[in-house]
Amino acid sequence: MAAQDVQAGGWSPALILVLVAVLLAGALFGYDQGVISGALSGVQHEFKLSALLVEVVTSWVTLGALAGSLAGGELADRLGRRKALFAAAALFAAGAAVEALAPAVAVLVAGRLLVGFGVGVAAVAAPLYAAELAPAPQRGRFVSAYQLAITIGIFLSYLVDQALTKQGDWRVMLGVSAVPALLLLAAMVPAVESPRWLVRMGRRDEARATIARARPWVDPDVRLASIEASLHDEPPNASWSEVFAPAWRRPLTIGIGLAVFQQITGINAIIYYSDKIFAAAGFSSAAAQTQASTWAIGAVNVVATLIAIAFIDRLGRRPLLLAGLVGMTASLAAVGFAFLSSSKGAGMSSSAGAVTLGALVVFIISFAFSLGPVVWTVINEIFPGRVRGRAVAVATAVNWGSAFLVSEFFLTLVDAIGESATFFLFAFFCVVGGIWIYRRVPETKGRSLEQIETLWRGDTRAPAASLR
Ligand code: BGC
């Protein structure tokens, strides 16, 4: 039964719609991550913001996302994955409208929080939805499609920023994000619910009908039996204390650890501040900096994520994570050395500038085929069904919290210890992350969610090697 479940792959219109929804949710996330860099100067000009308010307008969206991701687990468990995504899209569209029409900075900040909240809910519900509906052989691909959409969203926001920078039309830049939100709303109307969630809610007939629609090539009763077997004896919703119970400490530590390492190795310092990094690396005009960011960071990120999608279900999670971290360590160290050589003289030489550009491209490629997609994939497949919603929410909230801290303190850190030490620090975190992943993170490739669940049963201190 499990074998049939693991081997059966294919596409149906219902599965394609799941993929579309996941792509739109990712695009919302990404657009929102990238857009503020270009919108900020127009906002600053119109509202005459203090430095503190500039930071608030920039980073409070991450705080909203942190709250949204905690609530997202709750919503995804109570309303279902589909309705949670519907709610996220509605919140996001409303927030984007509030931002675009804001008459005062307080309203703009309220809009940022609302948008962030929607992004947080979607960031939990979308990969969860993808992981629960995708057939096991394609699960990595479904969840990395979410990551691909994030990178496309970032790239699009860089392009929109570039196109509108001259007019300083920040209202349009921010308001444009209502478009994917409305499309997501529309997509969720006919979309199917996750059969696993339906079974947990005792809605067996609907679950059976959904399986028949989403995966017409499998015997729905066999699939239903396999879901039921894994949900056997489980209450519909675990309490918060159960999420933190010793039995699940191992997957929880893995989820949280991956969420933290994804951020403290520097990705968003580079996404948010790439213009500033390129300026420090000798790209003197604003146009040259934006161009470098758009293409060397934005476009490369998209292309490299495509590579991940091709390989994640073939090579497995661990090899991609470890190989990516090697590339990230080397490139961050190269940037560190380039800044080190420049700090001795006046500014960076053109060769050190070229090294920085090349190294950042290598960094983005390495992140995009490893920590970017694989972290979200693993977070969404390691938790047992009854704690999955809340546990994924905890890991996602930790991810946003770490993103908030890194983006908030990157410039302060650069001021305090200099660019080169800051990049060496990120490189050091890559090394620590690599060692930790090597020792602790099991391979989940090709295992059904039910089989992964059995990894955590028995001796909770079993060496990770036995799980590879
Ligand atoms: C991360 C984001 C990051 C993006 C870059 C995602 O996996 O969670 O914080 O901005 O990748 O592509």
| pLDDT band, very low/low/confident/very high, at 343 (cuts 50, 70, 90) | low
Higher-pLDDT residue of 84 and 451 is 84
**pLDDT above 80 for 387:** yes
| pLDDT for position 245 | 87
Residue pLDDT, tens place only, 34-47: 888 778 778 888 99
- Pocket of ligand 1 contains residue 151 by CB under 6 Å: yes
How many A from CA of 371 to the centre of ligand 1?
9
| pLDDT band, very low/low/confident/very high, at 108 (cuts 50, 70, 90) | very high
Q: Give dist(CA 326, CA 221) in Å, integer.
A: 45
- Pocket of ligand 1 contains residue 302 by CB under 6 Å: no
**pLDDT above 70 for 329:** yes
With DSSP H G I counted as helix, E B as strand and the rest as coil, what are the percentages for the chain, rounded to 5? 80, 0, 20
Q: Give dist(CA 14, CA 209) in Å, integer.
A: 12
Q: In a mutational test of the pocket of ligand 1, which residue from 268, 306, 317, 375 has the highest number of ligand atoms less than 8 Å from its CB?
A: 268
Instruction: Give the mean pLDDT of 213-222.
Output: 83
**pLDDT above 70 covers what percent of the chain?**
93
**pLDDT above 60 for 156:** yes
**pLDDT above 90 covers what percent of the chain?**
41
Instruction: Give the mean pLDDT of 1-24.
Output: 71
- H helices of 232-266, where? 240-243, 249-264
How many A from CA of 104 to the centre of ligand 1?
30
Instruction: Give the mean pLDDT of 370-392.
Output: 87
- Pocket of ligand 1 contains residue 150 by CB under 6 Å: yes
- Protein residue with least CA distance to atom 5, ligand 1: 151
How many A from CA of 240 to the centre of ligand 1?
27
| pLDDT band, very low/low/confident/very high, at 15 (cuts 50, 70, 90) | confident
How many A from CA of 447 to the centre of ligand 1?
25
**pLDDT above 70 for 233:** no
How far are the Cα atoms of 104, 170, 248, 359, 467 from residue 269, in angstroms, in the given order?
A: 28, 22, 32, 15, 34
Half-sphere exposure of 391 (CA within 13 A, CB side): 30
265's CB contacts (< 8 A; 6+ apart) are 325, 328, 332, 367, 371, 426, 429, 430, 433
| pLDDT band, very low/low/confident/very high, at 102 (cuts 50, 70, 90) | very high
CA-33 nearest atom, ligand 1: 10
Please give the angle made by the CA atoms of 438, 246 and 319, to the nearest 5 degrees. Answer: 15
How many A from CA of 33 to the centre of ligand 1?
8
Q: Give dist(CA 5, CA 230) in Å, integer.
A: 13
| pLDDT for position 344 | 55
Q: Give dist(CA 55, CA 60) in Å, integer.
A: 8
Instruction: Give the mean pLDDT of 12-38.
Output: 87
Instruction: Identify the DSSP state of 50.
Output: -
- Pocket of ligand 1 contains residue 372 by CB under 6 Å: yes
How far are the Cα atoms of 209, 215, 219 from residue 222, in angstroms, in the given order?
A: 13, 12, 5
Rg (CA), the chain: 22
Query: For residue 239, which of 121, 64, 73 has the smallest C-alpha distance?
Result: 73
- Protein residue with least CA distance to atom 10, ligand 1: 268
Residue 343 class from Cβ within 10 Å (0-12 exposed, 13-18 middle, 19+ buried)?
A: middle
Q: In a mutational test of the pocket of ligand 1, which residue from 29, 58, 150 has the highest number of ligand atoms less than 8 Å from its CB?
A: 150
